[in-house]
Each structure stands twice: as C-alpha cells, then as structure tokens.
Amino acid sequence: MIGERMPIRIPVYKPDLSGNERAYVNECLESGWISSKGKFVSVFEQAFAGYLGVDFAIGVCNGTTALHLALLALGLGPGDEVIVPTLTYIAAANAVTYTGALPVFVDSLRDDWQMDPADVIKKVTSRTRAIMVVHLYGHPCNMDEILGIAKKHGLFVIEDAAEAFGSRFNGQLTGGFGDIAVFSFYGNKTITTGEGGMVVTRDPTLFDRAKHLKGQGLAEHRQYWHDVVGYNYRMTNICAAIGLAQLERCDETLRRKRRLAHLYEKKLAGVPVEIHGESPRVVHNYWMISILVPSLQDRDPLREALAKAGIETRPVFFPVHTMPMYSNRFQRHPVAEDIGWRGINLPSWPGLSEQDVDEICAIIARYFEEKRVNKLIT
C-alpha cells in the first residue's frame, strides 16, 4: 500500500500535445463536425494504415472495443477457446469473455516478458480457434514462432498491439503480422486520441465485417436499416483530429522514448534492478520503461520512497489468472507471477528531462544503498 506522499510532480505518463492538435480540434468545432462524421476520421484511418503498411484501418472509441470488434469479425463465440498471455492488461481476457469464448492463459518468457510459445503449444486443444498475441509494454512477441504454431494448427492470430505502436520485429512494424490487429490511443499511449482505438487488417472481408459491426449493424444501401446486432464503437471526429496530429510527429516521439530508456539504462547501471530491455531482432518502443526489483518485499517500499518525492509509479500488471473472475480453477504460471509481483513501471513520457531521470534513478539507488547499509548494521 502506498501511503502519504507529496503531490505528484513527475507522473508515470502525460501526453505531448504540442503539434497540430489544437488547430485540428478547432477546425472540428468551427465546422460543427464533432461526433463520428467528419473528415478527420477517414483521414486518420488512411494515414494510420499507410504508416503501418496495411490495407485497412477502422477507428473505434477505445482499445477494448477494438479487441472485441476484432474477435467478433473473426466469428469467435461460445465453445471457442482463445489463447491469451496471463501477464497482460485485463482487457485482453475480458474481450474474449464478452464474445462467450474462453480465454486460455499461458505463461511468459523470462527474458522478454512476452507469451511463451512452448506454453502456447501445450494449450492448443480441439476447441482452440485463435491466439491473441499481446506485445506487452511495447516489446514485440516472437512472431515467427507464434505464426508457425498458428499455421500448423489452423488458428487465427489477433495482435493486441495496444501498447506497441512503432515497435518492430524483424524490421516489420507490429500490427501487420496477424489476421487482425488492434491499437489503443488512451491518454497514456505513445500516440493518443484521448480515448480511442484502431482495428487494422489486410483482409477485405474482416474489414467489411468489423466496419459493419462497429456502426450498429447499419445496412450499406438502406438508410436506418440494420441487418445484424451491431455496436456503437465509433471514433469521434475530434478524437481522430487529435490522432492525426499525433501521427504526424510519431517518429520524433518514438526517438525520444528510446533515448529516455537508454538514459534509464545508463543511470541505473550498478543498481540491483533489472530493466525490461530489448531482445535481438526487436525494436522496442518502450511505451513503459519497467524494472524488476530483487524481491516482492522491495516493490512497495521502493514505490513509497519515490511517491514521497512526488514521483508516480505503478505496478506491472497482475497476472490475469490470479484475478477473482478468472481464478475459478487453480493455475500456476510462475514466470508471469514472478514478473507481476516484482515489476514497476517508471515515468515514461517522452518529455521527461534528463534531470528528472537523474532524480528518479538517484532515489532508486539510495533506497538499495540504505537497505544494504541497514543489513550490515543488523
């Protein structure tokens, strides 16, 4: 439990809105096109698809609805199983549950924190229909292995790239590997729309299905005629306007975030923490710069020391299989549990100064030095 602390001076994240965001939003306000109709939605979708090198992109109101829409477009439902990493944000499992399908959890790899392909193989059954890949904290999964498993067993691959905009595996941007992929544009993401998400695919049928479902199942050629039970998952013109402005400056943002990660790595050298780094063949966007402390007993006291200085942190995601609604049958995923209990997300926004990083790292170093000295005294 994090106790008394001074007001937050250095948050975990805050967006950089110093580009054309204000001008584009003002254009929405002046034109009156503020909801889901207006030019910025389609312009943002096309620009986003172009950046990723995919054929289709569909703007939606948040990343969770993007996941749900992707699963619905694939036709997943009751009786189906979807393999999901347990070390992830809860939305991945919840979106599967919304469809009536069953999320089947797999453990993580110790070196990169991503889903373990060997455990994926063990969890494939006659009911498995898809593998949901989550590029956790922006580090890509090993897509060669995952795609190989999917091909062998005839499974769909859904990429949850909510945290991985701009990350690459083997030189290819995340979001372009699976049958369908999703992104989140929440306020703390690498690019933001405030609230928002995107579904992307190269498959025209999946595009048509997702687009149909996101707009209340409205028939294409008959006004106010609905031929399926659909959803109101549309993105607003204002959100798309912000997203387009963010996309215009995304390469600069990604460079700044990687520089920030390298600063942390340099300044924490010699401190007994492990930084979530970058595997071979991978470009990590470092959406969150995360560390592992030596033991569970260190996590909350270290976070408390940082909070007392007005520095916000957050714990790494708790494994989903330990949550009450998903723990009805006992499971062990030891790697995910270990990372989940020892991990901390540090301030990771691209505008963080080197002086801020110096202060954060000095507090971390001082915590472990005081612990070492106290141990010697006792």
* CA 27 to each of CA 44, 252, 302: distance values in angstroms, whole numbers, following the listed order: 15, 24, 46
Segment 108-135 shows an average pLDDT of 98
The pLDDT, as a whole number, for residue 374 is 82
CB 260 within 8 A of CB 348: yes
Segment 341-349 shows an average pLDDT of 98
3-state secondary structure of 290: strand
**Average per-residue pLDDT for the chain:** 96
Burial class (CB in 10 A: 0-12, 13-18, 19+), 111: exposed
Nearest in space to 184 (alpha carbons), one of 206, 212, 164: 164
Residues 6 or more apart whose CB falls under 8 angstroms from that of 248 comprise: 19, 20
Segment 271-291 shows an average pLDDT of 97
The pLDDT, as a whole number, for residue 4 is 57
Q: What is the CATH number of domain 250-377?
A: 3.90.1150.10
The pLDDT, as a whole number, for residue 6 is 79
The pLDDT, as a whole number, for residue 1 is 46
Interval 207-225: pLDDT, tens: 999 999 999 999 888 889 9
3-state secondary structure of 114: coil
For the chain, the domains span 21-248, 250-377
Structure tokens at 225: 């005629």
Using the 8-state DSSP alphabet, how is residue 202 labeled? S
The pLDDT, as a whole number, for residue 5 is 62
Q: Is the pLDDT of residue 345 over 80?
A: yes
* CA 269 to each of CA 112, 257, 263, 370: distance values in angstroms, whole numbers, following the listed order: 19, 19, 10, 17
Interval 235-266: pLDDT, tens: 999 999 999 999 999 999 999 999 999 999 99
The pLDDT, as a whole number, for residue 221 is 85
Give the count of beta carbons closer than 10 Å to the beta carbon of residue 356: 17
Segment 56-84 shows an average pLDDT of 98
Interval 156-192: pLDDT, tens: 999 999 999 999 999 999 999 999 999 999 999 999 9
The pLDDT, as a whole number, for residue 99 is 98
Q: Is the pLDDT of residue 3 over 60?
A: no
Q: Is domain 21-248 annotated with CATH 3.40.640.10?
A: yes
